[in-house]
A and B are shown apart, each in its own frame.
Chain A
């Protein structure tokens, strides 16, 4: 039990530091939201003095609040899940923007990551099992694809499969021409899957190589372990050795890596969401950064930090169960 208490204390401390940093960072960077908005609007056309007066009134906030007071107020807001109001998407609350985007990212990036993991680890296990045969040639080709810049691969696929031969749509989470907004119907669900296929495909293609290579190498070194030799000597079925003896042990490092990857799913795949105009958190983050929208940035960073911590915590606990050695040594 001591192990878990230590972990919990550690995570609470980390959380507090993360939240405090999150509070401080935007305050160290320059920028007056009113000025930013006027600047942005004046590039698009005329800004009337009336509009400017309104902007000053809404955003030219009182800044004589002390840092400590602001910090206490911020902590209080975070506890009540009030992350402030976005400037770029004014007057939408940050929490609303995040909860709108979250399902899209988790749905697409999460699913694509799981698929990529399963395919990569599965294929890696088989290739490692049959090392030295022709299947080894698959490894370099997948790593080659992975080494291609993601945006390039994505744009290439869009060009080939969406623009030249319109098999898939160019972008968006669903057909925004057809549907005025998300709705619960089979037509809509089908449309979401149809729109998600190409982006998911690009994620899988570009990330499967890493899983595959790691798994294959672990597999090869596991195969030379004594207990594999023992299992073979006992005359166990090949499939049983592959699944129960080799793969289970070889997959351990991949599983811990998978935990971290899952945590970062929440951060979205920024490039993917940008290229496909996918309405997820990564896209939201770009919007926030480009618009110097500190409230939104803070909110996003907080959500990402929380998920990464939570995922790490869960992996720690799970690992404690799977591998007793981590428990005693920690």
Chain B
């Protein structure tokens, strides 16, 4: 109920924003283009030119270390997207085709070993030099990052690049086109001599990129972006955007309610009251992306121990938990239902095979859980807990002590499971201990996140979280880039994932995904719980052009890599 009223209020806000937009366009004397256009082509921003400095909080805590090095792990928010851009922008909130940025179009060859990219014409670096195919080649093959799967890249002509791979690499399309930041060869080529030094370089004096803004003043408390007058998409209408450092969510929330922050993405338990108490000056949208799941150490062969290694226990737990109650009490009804296939509901619906349940069970069914256990040969002991061969169905469930939403979830899970005769002991280790245990597989059950995919396709989750290649024996730490914490290993899944990787044909991929989904919804190495909320707040009074529920042209939160530049270039003032 609460959720639906939230929606209504939200609609009211968005329509108000739209109203303001119309009004602004009317004042400016221009024709009303309609906000729908913004999604496809890089149409000019809405609204009017404004000198009012846009204040952004992208999660940085002071002191801020100026670092605009696109290869650094600690680069500041905005480096990716506002200063440096990718060839295409993949909007992870929708199933639409990638949006052309520095690239114009791309084409795969039949077997997925070659990718031909056409570039946008007339793009210049902010130091005046032309952006050419050579820069793209350099960006893809430099020594600062290693992309082992790229065997070569060549500039066919100044506006065409051909990238070749060691095998079918359809699945790395996003990595090449959507995450590789384009850097100028004339600045970075000479730095290849000393890679270590290049990686620790802070690049704070006028970094050379193609993005809509350039770097202005920087200090320990903030850094300021100035509109790039020669931006290929047209000079941004908001002249200045200042990214500030704020000490934590509480201060940021205070600043948001007093109108001191114009754009942020953070968790606030009662977003509706923020919107209504501001008199609709604050805009809000919730775009759930990343699933939360109970990881189970599932594989005896790799060294897992405990009742959860029996698939019946995992299946029983899956139906014993009450996801509605968990969402209500632990996530204040802001999370979204999760699909047992880990496809993002709404966006990835077409990938969910026929016959798969759309959502994980939203209410508890203790009878069914008990039946699953009894069918598997468990009997209820005198204390009401099931047991088999003298082993009680008793497991520990962990979450880091500081993650309060996860801790409450675990307590609810324990209470709900107890009704089905499953005993769960909840513990809350420090984040450090929890992280170590997670990577080395030393847990029975633990609540954790699963990183949602950035493209409308669950493939990356299947590959990185479910395959044998992405895991290792219990006691050893997972390799970088592997996320199969559960030690799950199933030849059928491995084979289907490999089949899906080798094709770009939708039907063939669907077939492969159907096989994966049939296995993982039965085996449940990860027991899905909810999809976490991703909340974004903005100043709807002074600025227009935000990604709203009706027009989600980009992933809205201010910390979103890549999207921030696109959103800033689409904003305008309302006066």
Q: Which residues of A contact B (CB under 8 A)?
A: 30-31, 35-39, 41-58, 86, 89-92, 97, 100-101, 158, 162-163, 166, 170-174, 176-177, 180-182, 273-274, 277, 279, 283-284, 287, 292
Contacts and interface: CB of A to CB of B under 8 A. Distances in A.
16 contacts: A35-B477, A36-B432, A44-B559, A45-B451, A45-B560, A53-B145, A58-B200, A89-B63, A91-B72, A170-B251, A176-B242, A180-B223, A181-B218, A181-B221, A274-B248, A277-B246
Given A86-B65, A166-B258, 4 more contacts: A44-B559, A48-B175, A101-B220, A177-B244
Interface stretch (B29-37, B54-62, B519-527): B54-62
B182 to A, nearest CB: 15
Contact of A46 (B219, B242, B454): B454
B257 interface: yes
Given A30-B436, A52-B481, A181 B254 contact: no
Nearest to B255: A170
Interface in B210-250: 216-224, 242, 244-248
Contacts of B220: 100-101, 181, 279
B62 A54 contact: no
Nearest to B245: A176
Nearest to A60: B480
Interface of B: 53, 55, 59, 61-65, 67, 71-74, 144-147, 175, 179, 196, 199-200, 202, 216-224, 242, 244-248, 251, 254-255, 257-258, 260, 290, 431-432, 435-436, 439, 449, 451, 454, 477, 480-481, 559-561
> Top 7 A-B pairs ranked by shortest CB distance?
A181-B219, A180-B217, A49-B481, A52-B480, A277-B247, A92-B65, A50-B145
A166 B67 CA distance: 34
A50 B251 contact: no
B73 A163 contact: no
B63 A39 contact: no
A293 B196 CA distance: 21
Nearest to A277: B247
A35 B432 CA distance: 9
A82 to B, nearest CB: 15
Contacts of B196: 57-58
A262 B323 CA distance: 54
A322 B226 CA distance: 59
B65 A91 contact: yes
A289 to B, nearest CB: 12
A101 B254 contact: no
Contact of A177 (B55, B200, B439, B477): B55
B77 to A, nearest CB: 10
Contacts of A176: 221-222, 242, 244-245
A158 B258 CA distance: 12
A53 B247 contact: no
Nearest to B257: A163
A274 B247 contact: yes
B551 to A, nearest CB: 22
Contacts of B431: 39
B177 to A, nearest CB: 13
A35 B74 contact: no
B219 A37 contact: no
Nearest to B251: A277
Nearest to A29: B432
B199 A287 contact: no
A109 B222 CA distance: 23
Nearest to A96: B65
B438 to A, nearest CB: 9
A201 B481 CA distance: 50
A171 B480 contact: no
A273 B145 CA distance: 39
Contact of B254 (A35, A86, A97, A158): A158
Given A91-B72, A180-B224, A279 B63 contact: yes
Nearest to A42: B451
Contacts of B246: 171, 277
Given A177-B244, A277-B247, A54 B199 contact: yes
Contact of A45 (B73, B217, B561): B561
Contact of B145 (A54, A92, A101, A166): A54
A277 B247 CA distance: 5
Contacts of B200: 58, 90-91
Nearest to B61: A287
Given A54-B199, A91-B72, A279 B251 contact: no
A270 B61 CA distance: 15
B165 to A, nearest CB: 15
Contacts of A86: 65
Nearest to B146: A53
A181 B217 CA distance: 7
A50 B146 contact: yes
A38 B55 CA distance: 28
Nearest to A32: B436
B65 A170 contact: no
B222 A181 contact: yes
Nearest to B219: A181
A50 B139 CA distance: 13
A173 to B, nearest CB: 7
A102 to B, nearest CB: 12
